[in-house]
C-alpha cells in the first residue's frame, strides 16, 4: 500500500537542501543522509552505485540463478520506466513487467491477466485486500490498483530471465517475505532505487512540479525516500534524464552486467540482442 510518509525534520531539511543545492547522487547527499557513504560507483562509473554487501552477494551467487527479480523503485519522475524500457529495447524478450491489478472494468481491447488483473468492483478488490491476496495497493481517484501475489507467482514461471516490478520501497519487505515463504524456486532479488541526476532545486522546484499535481505530498515522500533508500536499496542509479542518449543506454548496460553475473549460462542464453545494439562495455 502506498503510505503517506514524511520526515520529522522535513522543513529544516528542505531549507538546507535548497541552500546548498546538491546533486541528487550519493557522494553529494552524504552530507544530509550519512548512509549514502556506504555506496561506491560501479567500476564503469555510468550512474550505478553499489554497496560492498551487494557486490559480495553477487560474487557469491555467480551463475547460480535462472531468474532475477528486479525491485525497481525511485523518486517521482526519476526515470525508472525509462530504464526498464531500455532493457527491453537492448535485449528484446529479456524482461517482463509484473502485471498489476485494478478495480476498474477492462477496456474493449484489454484482457484479464494480460493487461491487468481485473476486479469487477471496488468491493471485490477490498475483499481481496482483506484476504491478504495483494502485496501492495493504492487508491487513485475512485479506483484501486495493486500487486496481487498470484501475479508475482505467475511472473516467476515465465521464460524471461528478468522480471521487474515498480512497487514502492515501502512494499519491498512484503515482496521479499512472500518470496522467502511461498516461492520454491527463488529468484535473486535486486533492490534498485532511482534518482534523477540533477540538482535539488532543479528537481524540487521545476522537474517535480511538471511531473505531479500532488506536488507537496510527493516532495514530502521524496525526502522520506531519499532518507530511507540507502538503508533499503542494494543499488542506486543516478539517472541522467536530460541526457537520454547515449547515457541511458550506458547506465542500463552497467546494471545489466551486474544482473548477468548471477544468471546461469542457460538463463543468459535467453537474451536476444537487438539488431541495433551491442552488449559492450562503454569506454570511460
Residue 274 pLDDT: 63
Q: 3-state secondary structure string, the chain?
A: CCCCCCCCCHHHHHHHHHHHCCECCHHHHCCCCHHHHHCEECCCCCCEEECHHHHHHHHHCCCCECCEEEEEEECCCCCHHHHHHHHHHHCCCCEEECCCEECCCCCCCCCECCCEEECCCHHHHHHHHHCCCEEEEEEECCEEEEEEHHHHHHHCCCCCCEEEECCCHHHHHHHHHHHHHHCCCCCEEEEEEEEECCEHHHHHHHHHHHHCCCHHHHHHHHHHHHHHHHHHCCEEEEECHHHHHHHHHHHHHHHHHHHHHHECHHHHCCCCCCCCCCCCCCCC
- CA dist., res. 162 & res. 46, Å (int): 21
pLDDT digits 0-9 by tens, 97-131: 999 999 988 988 889 888 888 998 889 999 999 99
Residue 4 pLDDT: 65
Strand order in the sheet with 48-50: 40-41, 48-50, 235-239, 188-196, 68-74, 162-165, 95-97
Residues pairing with 239 in the sheet: 196
Report residue 48: phi and psi, to 5°. -110, 130
Predicted confidence band of residue 247 (pLDDT cuts 50, 70, 90): confident
> Which of 49, 31, 15, 17 is closest to 200 using CA atoms?
17
Residue 281 pLDDT: 42
Q: How far is CA 165 from CA 72, 162, 190, 192, in A?
A: 6, 10, 11, 11
Residue 142 pLDDT: 83
Report residue 50: phi and psi, to 5°. -135, 160
As to burial, measured by CB atoms within 10 angstroms (0-12 exposed, 13-18 middle, 19+ buried), residue 249 is: middle
Residue ranges and CATH numbers for the domains of the chain are 21-94+160-268 (3.40.50.300), 99-154 (3.30.63.10)
- CA dist., res. 217 & res. 208, Å (int): 11
pLDDT digits 0-9 by tens, 135-173: 998 887 788 889 999 999 999 999 999 999 999 898 999
> Which of 132, 144, 230, 171 is closest to 3 using CA atoms?
171
Residue 101 pLDDT: 92
Predicted confidence band of residue 243 (pLDDT cuts 50, 70, 90): low
pTM recorded for the entire structure:
0.89
Q: Residue holding cell 545489466?
A: 256
Strand order in the sheet with 117-118: 117-118, 101-102, 143-148, 134-140
Residue 277 pLDDT: 53
- CA dist., res. 89 & res. 126, Å (int): 37
Amino acid at each position: 500500500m502506498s503510505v503517506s510518509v514524511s520526515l520529522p525534520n522535513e522543513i529544516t531539511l528542505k531549507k538546507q537542501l535548497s541552500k546548498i543545492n546538491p546533486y541528487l547522487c550519493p557522494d553529494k547527499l552524504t552530507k544530509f543522509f550519512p548512509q549514502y557513504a556506504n555506496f561506491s560507483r560501479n567500476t564503469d562509473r555510468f550512474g550505478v552505485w553499489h554497496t560492498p554487501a551487494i557486490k559480495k552477494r553477487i560474487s557469491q551467487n555467480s551463475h547460480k540463478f535462472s531468474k532475477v527479480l528486479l525491485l525497481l523503485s525511485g523518486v517521482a519522475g526519476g526515470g525508472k520506466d525509462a530504464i526498464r524500457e531500455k532493457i527491453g529495447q537492448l535485449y528484446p524478450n529479456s524482461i517482463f513487467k509484473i502485471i498489476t491489478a485494478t478495480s476498474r472494468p477492462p477496456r474493449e481491447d484489454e484482457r484479464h491477466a494480460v493487461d491487468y488483473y481485473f476486479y469487477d468492483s471496488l468491493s471485490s478488490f477490498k475483499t481481496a485486500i482483506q484476504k491478504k491476496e495483494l502485496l501492495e495497493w493504492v487508491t487513485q481517484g475512485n479506483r484501486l490498483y495493486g500487486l496481487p501475489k498470484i501475479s508475482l507467482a505467475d511472473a516467476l514461471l515465465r521464460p524471461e530471465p528478468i522480471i521487474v516490478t515498480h512497487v514502492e520501497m515501502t512494499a519491498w519487505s512484503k515482496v521479499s517475505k512472500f518470496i522467502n515463504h511461498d516461492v520454491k524456486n527463488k529468484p535473486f532479488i535486486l533492490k534498485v532505487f532511482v534518482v534523477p541526476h540533477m540538482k535539488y532545486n532543479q528537481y524540487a522546484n521545476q522537474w517535480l512540479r511538471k511531473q505531479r499535481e500532488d506536488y507537496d505530498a510527493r516532495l514530502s515522500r521524496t525526502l522520506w525516500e531519499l532518507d530511507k533508500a540507502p538503508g533499503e536499496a542494494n543499488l542506486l542509479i543516478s539517472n541522467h534524464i536530460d541526457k537520454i542518449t547515449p547515457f541511458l543506454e550506458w547506465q542500463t548496460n552497467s546494471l545489466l552486467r551486474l544482473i548477468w553475473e548471477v544468471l546461469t549460462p542457460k538463463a543468459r542464453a535467453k537474451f536476444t540482442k537487438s539488431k541495433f545494439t551491442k552488449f559492450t562495455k562503454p569506454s570511460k
